[in-house]
Structure 1
Amino acid sequence: MNLMQGTAKYTTIAAWASAVARALRASGVDPESVYEDAGLSLTEIERAPDSRIPIENMTLFWEAVESATQSPAFGLAVGRYAYPMHFRSLGLLMMTSETLARAFERLPDYYALVSNSASIKLQRTPQLIGFTITPLNGIEISEMAIDAFFATLMHHGELMIGHSNFIKTVELIRESPKDESPWQTCFNCPVSFEQQVNCLWMDRSMLEKATMMADPKLAMKNEHAVRQYLEKMQALSWHEKTSQAVHAMLVDGEPCLVKAAQIYNLSERTLSRYLKSEGTNFRTILQEKRKELAHYYLINSELSITQVADKLGYTSLSNFTRVFHLWYGLSPSLYRLQSHSSANL
């Protein structure tokens, strides 16, 4: 059994996995064997819903789900069986928010309660709000998990405002399936595949109307519970916490100590002191993460060397090449060539 209590860096809340069990039972599939195939125990998950499951096991789990159901679209069905309780206090916080817009605005701050393996942000236009999920580079997240989460958000929104017409279009990174109809039917709007991001585009005017379950006092109580859970969940060293923060920040731009400290509601000086007590500092952690991701991009992507340098925040290709040579003793291009040659032997 691989349930973790803060020992794995990238995890998903166990209660979320139990929602999948409900969907499997409803489709006539015994969930016990599916969980076992991923090294999980449904009994233990239901006994400890606030525990954490390593993201590697969740990805294996989704593979087992697809194999058992013979449906690459099964994640969409999970949305109907993922109740607010499966997101614990975060689900209740969403449901008691004053508006659906406010509920979605809170999610990027607290999504780590569900999973800390992706970056979440909102995009805004005068008419639309876009909710995007970007898996952290080097972290494998099942496409079915993205489908399930988007379908769940739609159904939760439907509970709050009485309909799901607020979804206007959906963009997915996944390859175009042979049959696109399950996605079109689920979201009842245009769905495009092979996009740059996973994004749920929603009607802004509908999201900003008061919801049927709004309760500001209860929302405040639920928000406090979410914060308490996240503090308990982060039983990692400050080195590990800061490394996670750097990984997430590299998705959107240049990481810095100030932003990392803000993520954990600390001052820059306090985070520096914590890191120093563990024998490290922000600059060292940033270099460690850049080294890790440089290897990942060169081996697992088709990005040019210049694009890799840009993604890692280097101002010039020459700077990246110089630092990379210090790390690995050869140039990025030669490193990629040798790695690919070894893989083909």
Structure 2
Amino acid sequence: MSNTPSVTVHYAQAILQAAERLALPLPETLRDLAREGRIPLVRQDELWEAFCVAAADPLIGLRLGNALQVGHLDMVGALLMSCETLGEALEALLEYYPIVGEGGEFSLHEEGDALRLVYQPRYAVRREERVEAVLASLAHMTRWITGERAQPLELHFAHPARADEARYIELLGCPLQFACGENFLAFERDELNTPLIQANALMREHLRGLADDLLQRLGQQSLAAQVQQQLRQQPRWGKERIAEQLDLSGRHLNRKLAEEGTSFKLLRDQVLHQMAEQLLRDSSRLAEVAEALGFSDESAFAKAFRRWTGITPGQFRQGLGA
């Protein structure tokens, strides 16, 4: 965490634009936020409070979330759009969300045939409205970046419904549950392989480099993000070697990753899965892919790939027309 939690100015601009569109009166001192760089979280708190009071709409957070554009998420929005699949975009979100704002944390959890993207807010002001804005924006973006071919299976909110549930369904367009203790979007595992309509490998790698640099400047790079960065550079390394690079013991690394809601095995699988698909797209021989990623042979790699995707490397290539 940085000493002064902050939010990208682009997210604040989304609120100010919504207020202008709805003709909501906001203090002039808050309108000036659009001229700043990153905005301290305490100032963002003031903006949210004024915005919600002026709107007098219990579902203003949902409405704002539905209206958010890719540009309001800083470079993270463009990075998510440039990923190959929905699953890769969710993993990138886990790594780079602090660039958008430091008011909460995301984590991914497997649950049978579904995957839960959990959001844990740290807001003290207008928590419910802000959580609804975050989850609504992700549901909206999921549909947009996949060309309407994928959407969340279900949304869960930790808080009770703030208005009639029919209004939520009208705005979100998917099943909902309230007062469930956690805020999350559930996705069918098969939908994670949905290709994105603006996938661009060169753009993605360029934006990753910029995002890594910005995270380091913010002092906001999570341990999970650092582990993934190390694994992308050295995919053959195991837990102890990666831990050594981060000045940790393997046991301490496990414990700290668990606190972030993940594990070394999950992070390694995510990175190797991404790298495997890219290498297969580049028409590398299976033996070369297995060697590059640290597998003992083609059979071990094929077994892992089938566990990640439900198909063989050959079937994956057939789907690409290779």
| Structure 1 residue aligned with 2:177 | 192
| Structure 2 residue aligned with 1:81 | 67
Residue 166, structure 1, aligned to residue 151, structure 2: yes
SS of residue paired to 2:67: coil
Deviations 1:38-73 (CA, angstroms, capped at 9, x unpaired): xx533442x34xx22222332232222111011121
Give the letter aligned to residue 24 of structure 1: A
1:126 Cα shift?
4.2
| Counterpart mapping for 1:132-211 below 5 A | 132-136=118-122, 142-163=127-148, 166-211=151-196
| Structure 2 residue aligned with 1:104 | 90
For the structure 1 residues 178 and 230, does the alpha-carbon distance in structure 2 shift closer, same or farther, using more than 3 Å as the test?
same
1:101 Cα shift?
1.4
Residues 7 and 41 of structure 2 are in contact (CA less than 8 Å); yes or no, is this contact kept in structure 1? yes
| Structure 2 residue aligned with 1:26 | 21
With the length of structure 1 as denominator, give the TM-score of the two structures. 0.61
- How far, CA to CA, are the matches of 2:245 and 2:152 in structure 1? 43
1:97 Cα shift?
0.5
- How far, CA to CA, are the matches of 2:91 and 2:178 in structure 1? 25
For the structure 1 residues 21 and 146, does the alpha-carbon distance in structure 2 shift closer, same or farther, using more than 3 Å as the test?
same
Give the letter aligned to residue 13 of structure 1: T
Deviations 1:117-144 (CA, angstroms, capped at 9, x unpaired): 32210122343221111124x8656221
In structure 2, stretches of 5+ residues that fail to align are 231-241, 257-322
| Counterpart mapping for 1:291-306 below 5 A | none
Deviations 1:61-114 (CA, angstroms, capped at 9, x unpaired): 222211101112111111233211111111100001101111011111111111
With the length of structure 2 as denominator, give the TM-score of the two structures. 0.65
Residues 261 and 267 of structure 1 are in contact (CA less than 8 Å); yes or no, is this contact kept in structure 2? no
Residue 71, structure 1, aligned to residue 66, structure 2: no
Deviations 1:167-226 (CA, angstroms, capped at 9, x unpaired): 221111122324223322122122111121100112332231212111111111111111
Residues 98 and 215 of structure 1 are in contact (CA less than 8 Å); yes or no, is this contact kept in structure 2? yes
| Structure 1 residue aligned with 2:31 | 42
Give the letter aligned to residue 62 of structure 1: W
The number of aligned residues is: 239
- How far, CA to CA, are the matches of 2:18 and 2:44 in structure 1? 16
For the aligned residues, what is the CA RMSD? 3.1
- How far, CA to CA, are the matches of 1:267 and 1:150 in structure 2? 33
Residues 121 and 131 of structure 2 are in contact (CA less than 8 Å); yes or no, is this contact kept in structure 1? no
Residue 13, structure 1, aligned to residue 35, structure 2: no
For the structure 1 residues 144 and 212, does the alpha-carbon distance in structure 2 shift closer, same or farther, using more than 3 Å as the test?
same
Residues 2 and 218 of structure 2 are in contact (CA less than 8 Å); yes or no, is this contact kept in structure 1? no
For the structure 1 residues 63 and 174, does the alpha-carbon distance in structure 2 shift closer, same or farther, using more than 3 Å as the test?
farther
Identity %: 21
SS of residue paired to 1:196: coil
Give the letter aligned to residue 97 of structure 1: C
Deviations 1:139-181 (CA, angstroms, capped at 9, x unpaired): 6562211111111112222221122752221111122324223
Q: 1:221 aligns with which of 166, 181, 206?
A: 206
